[in-house]
Amino acid sequence: MFKIIKRSKKSNARVGLLKTAHGDIQTPVFMPVGTLATVKGMTVDNLNEIGAQIILANTYHLSLRPTTERLEQYGGIHSFMNWKKPILTDSGGYQVFSLSKTRKIFSDRVEFKSHLDGSLKVFTPQNVIDHQRRIGSDIWMPLDICTPYPASKDDVRKDMAVTNKWIKDAHGYWDQLDTKSLFFSIIQGGMYPDLRKECVSEFKDMGFSGFALGGVSVGEPREEMEEIVASVTPELPEDKPRYLMGVGLPENMDFCIQQGIDMFDCVAPARLARHGHVFTKNGKINLKNKQFQDDLTPIDDCDCMTCQSYSKAYLRHLLVCKEMLGPILLSYHNIHFLVKMVDKIRNDILAED
């Protein structure tokens, strides 16, 4: 299911191949986010041109619209959105805690109100698996509590205890299903390495398909995130893929891949694009800035459709005029940038002597 193709001699980086029901993924990999069964502004043709290998979708959002019952009736998310490659779904736990104004945690479930109409919903460790089964995604995540940052060790420990029980319950439930879908564990423990290690030791031999690091990208300084990644990755089984949830800015890639992270996702490329920000080899720039008004060069030395076809002056004009082609072309570039950046790191490892 997961095979390490090559290990770097310079770091703990590795190149792997992750097999799913909708094809193989070469790791390390950047996964564009398609929350509601659409990567904002991108057609599936666009995503294929860019070379995206796998995309994310979100269980919380899809459970509300179009509902997972409908997705099952439609034959699953792949045919619904016409994306033929792998899809990973997160459990929706993060959204329960970030979007729902009221929620109540019980030992076996969380009750919350829909951010759309306030109606009462319940997520259990088991029904979140059922949601993902009906969605038809290839990689599933367990329901967890995403502790805010900063949080005391006691608070993190308390949430972790609940999360860990849920994950074990979810694992038992997944284990008895007849499914080809992979199931990852989530490692919580906040910014406390000993709690993280405790988590890993509980789960490492249970037969999960992979390990996700959760509770990062929640507002902590980059250094703290990196410390946690550096302290946890050596504890994880070598032969399973590691997914760093919600992390995937250009400045994160080198370090995290060197620690042995295999999978990244990040909503930033699209969100930044909507505000005029684009990645370049020399850092992020804001195309709304006056300095780009008459700049007839492309965003970057880059082979994406946007850079091959349009200048900064034109893109800025679209942004100033609030034309929808602006966010479309900027998202295209930003997603391309991250996908190709990780591709290059992977190819560099493969090219090592």
Residues identified as active-site: 90, 265
Using the CB atoms, write b or e for 86-121: b if 16+ within 10 Å. bbbbbbbbbbbbebbeeeeeeeebbbbbeeeeeeeb
Q: Is 36 in the site for its own copies (CB under 8 A)?
A: yes
Among 4, 249, 285, 325, binds its own copies (CB under 8 A): 325
Q: Is 31 in the site for its own copies (CB under 8 A)?
A: no
Q: Is 321 in the site for its own copies (CB under 8 A)?
A: yes
DSSP-assigned letters across all residues of 140-162: E--------SS--HHHHHHHHHH
CA atoms within 13 A on the CB side of 39: 32
Cβ proximity of 263 and 184 under 8 Å: no
Tell me the two tokens of residue 83: 């994306």
Identity of the residue, 6 or 317, whose beta carbon is nearer to its own copies in the bound complex: 317
Among 22, 40, 134, 346, binds its own copies (CB under 8 A): 40
Q: Is 38 in the site for its own copies (CB under 8 A)?
A: yes
Q: Is 327 in the site for its own copies (CB under 8 A)?
A: yes
Identity of the residue, 18 or 304, whose beta carbon is nearer to its own copies in the bound complex: 304
Torsion of CA 177, 246, 196, 233, to 10 degrees: 90
Q: Is 89 helix (H, G, I), strand (E, B) or coil?
A: strand
Q: Is 60 in the site for its own copies (CB under 8 A)?
A: no
Among 174, 192, 211, 314, binds its own copies (CB under 8 A): 314
Give CA–CA dist 301/144, Å, rounded: 41
**Residue 70 C-beta: closest distance to its own copies, Å:** 7
Q: Is 66 in the site for its own copies (CB under 8 A)?
A: yes
| 251 contact partners, CB below 8 Å, separation of at least 6 | 222
Give CA–CA dist 61/206, Å, rounded: 29
Q: Is 117 in the site for its own copies (CB under 8 A)?
A: no
Instruction: List strand residue ranges (DSSP E) for the chain, in order.
Output: 2-7, 14-20, 23-27, 29-31, 55-58, 87-90, 103-105, 110-113, 120-123, 139-140, 182-187, 210-213, 242-244, 263-265, 277-280, 283-286
Side chain identity, residue 165: K
Q: Is 99 in the site for its own copies (CB under 8 A)?
A: no
Identity of the residue, 13 or 328, whose beta carbon is nearer to its own copies in the bound complex: 328
- Span from 86-94, 151-159, 173-181, 290-298 in contact with its own copies (CB under 8 A): 290-298
Among 57, 81, 225, 338, binds its own copies (CB under 8 A): 81
Identity of the residue, 33 or 256, whose beta carbon is nearer to its own copies in the bound complex: 33
Q: Give the count of residues interacting with its own copies (CB under 8 A).
A: 37
Q: Is 62 helix (H, G, I), strand (E, B) or coil?
A: helix
Side chain identity, residue 270: A
Q: Is 291 in the site for its own copies (CB under 8 A)?
A: no
Cβ proximity of 160 and 197 under 8 Å: no
Identity of the residue, 48 or 201, whose beta carbon is nearer to its own copies in the bound complex: 48
| Interface map 134-173 toward its own copies (x if CB under 8 A) | ----------------------------------------
Q: Is 45 in the site for its own copies (CB under 8 A)?
A: yes
**Residue 69 C-beta: closest distance to its own copies, Å:** 11
Cβ proximity of 121 and 92 under 8 Å: no
Beta strands 242-244 and 263-265, pairing class: parallel
- Span from 8-16, 37-45, 139-147, 166-174 in contact with its own copies (CB under 8 A): 37-45
**Residue 228 C-beta: closest distance to its own copies, Å:** 34
Residue ranges in contact with its own copies by CB under 8 A:
36-38, 40-45, 65-66, 70, 73-75, 80-82, 293-294, 296, 305, 309-311, 313-314, 317-318, 320-321, 323-325, 327-329
